[in-house]
Amino acid sequence: MPILPAPIGDNPFKSQESRVAERARKREAVLTAAVRMFNERGFHAASLDDVAATLGISKPTIYHYLGNKEQVLLECVARGLEQLNNAVIDARRSPGSGLDRLVGFLCRYAQVTMEDFGRCVIRTGEELLSAEGAALFRSGKSAIDQAMRALIADGIADGSIAPRDVKIMAFTLAGALNWPARWHDPAGPLDAQTAAKLIVDELVAGLAPR
């Protein structure tokens, strides 16, 4: 009978799964540090050197995980747009009237815009980006706008929202919900979820038919 080698107590060689998971954690840490720097200082004033310094790494390490400064910003914006798109998907699957689904979406929309990546979507101007980057950014924002209009139209169709100009209503709601990305303080006494509900309650008070 062959003699099997004794098991190694602490294997210094990580599995492929462990290496992938570790890379994902490091990439997430870099992305989070970057989005907070962009939100605090703005795209032009923020530097990848400063992002690297907050993590105790070198700037080339950021290039390794995310690319150049614009690529980092686009990744942050894409994450925020993904969160907003998920809010659309959840709203469409929700029971209730068109107004109920719209309210659910608006609450989540407001909450996302007060969080790191959603805040970055609102605070980023497309003029900061290359032509290609700006086109991608516009496309993502347009999809969210169209989704909001569709939810409003559904509510008008089922009678739970008073008939109004859908485009103007969507612009008005988005404008009101985008502003907390600039005034809400995550460290303040009002958490994002509570603030979102209070804001949406004020906004939708006039949507229902009389």
Collapsed DSSP state (helix, strand, coil) of residue 32? helix
Phi and psi at 45, nearest 5°, equal -75, -30
pLDDT for 85 equals 95
Q: What is the pTM of this model?
A: 0.82
Q: Domains in the chain, start-ordered, CATH in brackets? A: 16-67 (1.10.10.60), 69-204 (1.10.357.10)
Query: What is the residue-averaged pLDDT of the chain?
Result: 88
Closest CA to 133 of 74, 83, 75: 74
pLDDT by residue (tens digit) across 131-166? 998 999 999 999 999 999 999 999 999 999 999 899
Q: For residues 82 and 84, give the distance between their C-alpha atoms in angstroms, rounded to a whole number.
A: 5
Quick: pLDDT tens for 84-130.
999 999 999 999 999 999 999 999 999 999 999 999 999 988 887 88
The answer to whether 114 and 123 have CB atoms below 8 angstroms apart is no
Work out the average pLDDT over 29-43: 90
